[in-house]
Amino acid sequence: NQALGAQLLAQLENNPLDERSVAGVRLSRDVYKHYTAQEIRDLKEVFDFFDHKHRGSLKPKEIVYVMRTLGVNMSIEQCVAYVEKENQETATLNFGEFLHLLANYQDGEQDDYDELNL
């Protein structure tokens, strides 16, 4: 959806990087190996855009929307399987867990449990 993309781009351009906001999000070292502070900030903006209820986490359907916005074609079934593996208690992903999912996709890694074609 071009309107959604334009809206996200405008939001990113109008909110300059605040290093404290990136540092304020607890992330593993692996995330910082994959993404710059600017990329983390931009991905957080996209994540928050889809977190309509401001829970700090996304459900599988919301994650699929985010992934598709970022150009990743992920089915709801693939997403549910990943989320259930990573966070059985809440069936959601927080921002750090979402970044791990995205990094795994970008690295071309596949999960052993079901050979997901991410």
20 is written with which tokens? 């404290």
Taking the whole predicted model, whether its pTM rises above 0.85 is answered as: no
Cβ neighbours, 10 Å, residue 2: 6
Query: Alpha-carbon torsion 32, 16, 58, 63, what sign?
Result: negative
Give SS3 for 115: coil
What count of Cα atoms within 13 Å lies in the side-chain half-sphere of residue 4?
9
Q: Please, what are the domains in the chain? A: 2-107 (1.10.238.10)
Kindly report, residue by residue over 30-85, the tens digit of the pLDDT: 787 888 888 988 999 999 999 999 999 999 999 999 999 888 888 999 999 999 99
